[in-house]
Structure 1
Amino acid sequence: MTSTPTAPADTTPARAPESGSETAPKKVVRRSRLGALDALRFIAAVVVVGYHLTGIATPYWGLDPREVFPTLNHVTRYGYLGVELFFIISGFVILMTAWGRDLPRFVSSRVARLFPAYWVAVIITLILQAYWKGGRDQGFVGGLINMTMTQDAWDVLSAQGAFWTLWIELKFYLLIGVFLLVGITKQRVIAVVFLWPLLAQIARATDSGMLNSLLFAEYAPFFAMGMALFLIYRFGNSFIAWLAVAYNVILGIRQATEYADRATELVGATVSPMVTGLAIVAFAALVWLVSAGPLGRVEARFLTTLGALTYPLYLIHAQFAFWVIDTFHGRYDEYVVLAAAVATALVLAIALHYLIERRLHDPVRDAVQRGLREAPQPGR
């Protein structure tokens, strides 16, 4: 399990009534922005960046990162767990984004959020890799496949290592899209967060091929945990919602501790199963704290900005930071090179957000929504 942030979703709760025929439960009045959740998402991105640059064994420093950063590596070797935190947050915010919306509105918002920055990130990464021998090599056709965000389905190398989580996210969006067609209600969400991880594990245990791929058992508990936490945020505390959180925390602990041996191989140093298990509990507590908990009331413009920068930072950080490290390691102090690598990734992320995302989000969203809502012409 390498690491990556998920694409940020809107953190403005939909206020439309629930779909479905039964009477909607009474909603708890909440603020329209979750600034602390935005901050938590950015922190998760920074943790992932730390893992990629100083935690996992890479050739770009010329030495094992454990030798270059002997103290820092004791912490950053656990940075891959930022993926689990991202998936919990994604379960929360994607359900929040979908609630009360129809399918065209949901699809258009996701396309506009994910693809413009992603396309530019792929293009400039391919340009870098054309001149940098240390980068990845997808070839021309592989680069084109990367533009679809479905390269994992075709066994094509991703332009950036962190892109693998986007394929998991797309499958989660497919699940939510089907959910929208059926109608999202509290009762149905409760059923999904209990049954999905179990059915996914059954598919995995029985080698059910396509079903296993669609349900992605390794990560289902984290998305489901986020969905259950959203129910607590939207409707208030209830025994069944907290039971769903606890159920998925237990399953998440199992997944995280099971992966510790593999993480140890990747890092080249011991990754403690106890630490990984405690991290999952802490992640659930943090997401509650910044949503339904006391920090859910925190509001600040800069927190929203940090949240907006999370996705572009995730998209762009690895290859460009590695290029900086590969170019300057050994010539300058390792912490100076690390700071330069992180600064390069941040500058590129800021450029992606302000020059691409902010300018193209609304036009792309509106164009996709028009296309999905357009009535077929007579005779076609």
Structure 2
Amino acid sequence: MNSKSNSRYLDVLQLFRGTAALMVVLHHTIGSIKYYHKIDYPFLNHIASIGKFGVDFFFVLSGFIITYSAFYKYNEPNSFSNYIKNRLVRIYVPYLPIGIFMLVVYTLIPSFSNGNRTISELTSLTLIPHGNPALSVAWTLSFELCFYLLFSISFFSKKVWNWFVLVWFVSIIIFTYSPFASLPFLKNPFFRILFSAYNIEFILGFVLALLVVRKMQLNIIPLFSLLFLALMSFFYCTFNHLKLFAFDANLLFAIVAFLCIFVATSVGDFKINKASVLMMVGNATYSIYLIHNPLQMILIRLFPKITSVASLIVALAVVLILSCVVGYVYYYIFEKKAIHIIKSKLIK
């Protein structure tokens, strides 16, 4: 299929990525406001608790995009080597500058962190699971790398990969929701990531991509109804602090993400002006995600004492806007320019 078909849903998915990133920005910013300014509003706490689920949306979307884009590249020359190079460049080129910078900052100024995390130099420099990375949000990149590397199986045999996913999913369920969850080997950082329930979200994205590439069509009204039901269930459970089982709220939001993407692909082409603010934020999502946490910590520390709802709104607006602006500059340098240069050398 041609490239136009391959990028058919790109615009609306970029909006989803941007929204998920801003959710995470809000989550961390509100946490900093509570820590540094001693602000504690119940509604604000609820917004913060919702914001962290932007990561779950990212994981479902990653599973979908990787599977969907690979479907059109399996038969290309050097498809496997290009896939590996592409994914590693995509992850590491934007990550390493800010990751190394934060490692240096925490080494020289340990008090810069508002927590007492033990930092792993190995994880900070390589994303290999060993401990806490200096850039706190980089823990998610270890999960991304895990899925990317496992997905490479599909370039050799799609049948083997499909069976692997089934066994992987069953293993995750067993090692999360049974007495086997306490087995000693699961304390190993590698196995902790491999059998984490977060991987169910990547698998959901993979399954959704299969439905889309195989042109499975569902009536849009039932899809919207399911999306509404899933969203209301998620809000009801989180607002009332209901705990049905381990990872329940995350999986509920992952289903919301699944249905949002399914609805978007069912609606069809949805073009947005590339110069619009929404698209610029969507394109710069990864960079915004990478730089926002140290940026918001600095901004909230320097912000005048927050004592009212008005000053709280101003603080949130300042952080969101500057995260987008600085994130876009970072994106332009390290994603748009640096990645383009490196890919032109490495990828055929």
TM-score by length of 2: 0.75
Match of 2:16 in 1: 40
Match of 2:167 in 1: 195
1:229-308 aligned within 5 A: 229-237=208-216, 271-273=241-243, 276=249, 278-290=252-264, 292-294=265-267, 296-301=269-274, 302=276, 304-308=279-283
Q: Is the 8 A contact 2:63 2:204 kept in 1?
A: yes
Q: Secondary structure at the match of 2:58?
A: helix
Match of 1:104 in 2: 81
The answer to whether the aligner puts 1:72 opposite 2:47 as a matched pair is no
Q: Within 2, Cα distance between the matches of 1:165 and 1:294?
A: 30
Report percent identity of matched pairs: 22
Match of 1:347 in 2: 325
The answer to whether the aligner puts 1:223 opposite 2:192 as a matched pair is no
* AA in 1 matched with 2:267: P
Q: Which runs of 5+ in 1 are unaligned?
A: 1-13, 17-28, 240-248, 371-380
Q: How much has 1:336 moved relative to structure 2?
A: 2.2
Q: Within 2, Cα distance between the matches of 1:308 and 1:77?
A: 25
* Post-superposition CA distance 1:306-365 (Å, at most 9, x none): 332110011111121011112224168232222222233222211111122111112322
Q: How much has 1:87 moved relative to structure 2?
A: 0.7
Q: How much has 1:161 moved relative to structure 2?
A: 1.7
Distance 1:338 1:15, change over 3 A: same
* AA in 2 matched with 1:284: F
Specify which of 80, 87, 91 is matched with residue 114 of structure 1. 91
Q: Within 2, Cα distance between the matches of 1:200 and 1:178?
A: 19
Match of 1:20 in 2: none
Distance 1:117 1:138, change over 3 A: farther
Q: Within 1, Cα distance between the matches of 2:341 and 2:6?
A: 29
Distance 1:215 1:83, change over 3 A: same
Distance 1:214 1:146, change over 3 A: closer
Distance 1:97 1:213, change over 3 A: farther
Distance 1:179 1:215, change over 3 A: farther
Specify which of 38, 42, 61 is matched with residue 36 of structure 2. 61
* AA in 2 matched with 1:294: V
Distance 1:358 1:30, change over 3 A: closer
Specify which of 325, 334, 343 is matched with residue 356 of structure 1. 334
Distance 1:57 1:343, change over 3 A: closer
Q: Is the 8 A contact 1:61 1:326 kept in 2?
A: yes
* Post-superposition CA distance 1:24-51 (Å, at most 9, x none): xxxxx66545210110111011111111
Q: Within 2, Cα distance between the matches of 1:93 and 1:367?
A: 24
Q: Which runs of 5+ in 2 are unaligned?
A: 219-226
Q: Secondary structure at the match of 1:330?
A: coil
Q: How much has 1:126 moved relative to structure 2?
A: 4.5
Q: Within 2, Cα distance between the matches of 1:311 and 1:305?
A: 12
* Post-superposition CA distance 1:277-315 (Å, at most 9, x none): 65343222101112x211553443245433321100111
Q: Is the 8 A contact 1:35 1:298 kept in 2?
A: yes
Match of 2:157 in 1: 183
1:310-321 aligned within 5 A: 310-321=285-296
Q: Secondary structure at the match of 1:154?
A: coil
* Post-superposition CA distance 1:202-234 (Å, at most 9, x none): 345533536843533311221111111111221
* Post-superposition CA distance 1:180-220 (Å, at most 9, x none): 2x233xx5665455432112233455335368435333112
Q: Within 2, Cα distance between the matches of 1:137 and 1:80?
A: 17
* AA in 1 matched with 2:92: F
CA RMSD after TM alignment = 3.8
Match of 2:224 in 1: none
Match of 2:55 in 1: 83
Q: Is the 8 A contact 2:151 2:161 kept in 1?
A: no
Specify which of 19, 40, 64 is matched with residue 92 of structure 1. 64
Greater Cα shift, 359-368 or 88-97? 359-368
Q: Is the 8 A contact 2:33 2:300 kept in 1?
A: no
Match of 1:4 in 2: none
TM-score by length of 1: 0.70
1:198-217 aligned within 5 A: 198-204=170-176, 205=178, 206=180, 207=183, 208-209=185-186, 212-213=191-192, 215-217=194-196
Q: Secondary structure at the match of 2:52?
A: helix
Distance 1:272 1:136, change over 3 A: same
Greater Cα shift, 270-279 or 96-105? 270-279
Specify which of 18, 24, 28 is matched with residue 52 of structure 1. 28
Greater Cα shift, 198-207 or 274-283? 274-283
Q: Within 2, Cα distance between the matches of 1:175 and 1:230?
A: 16
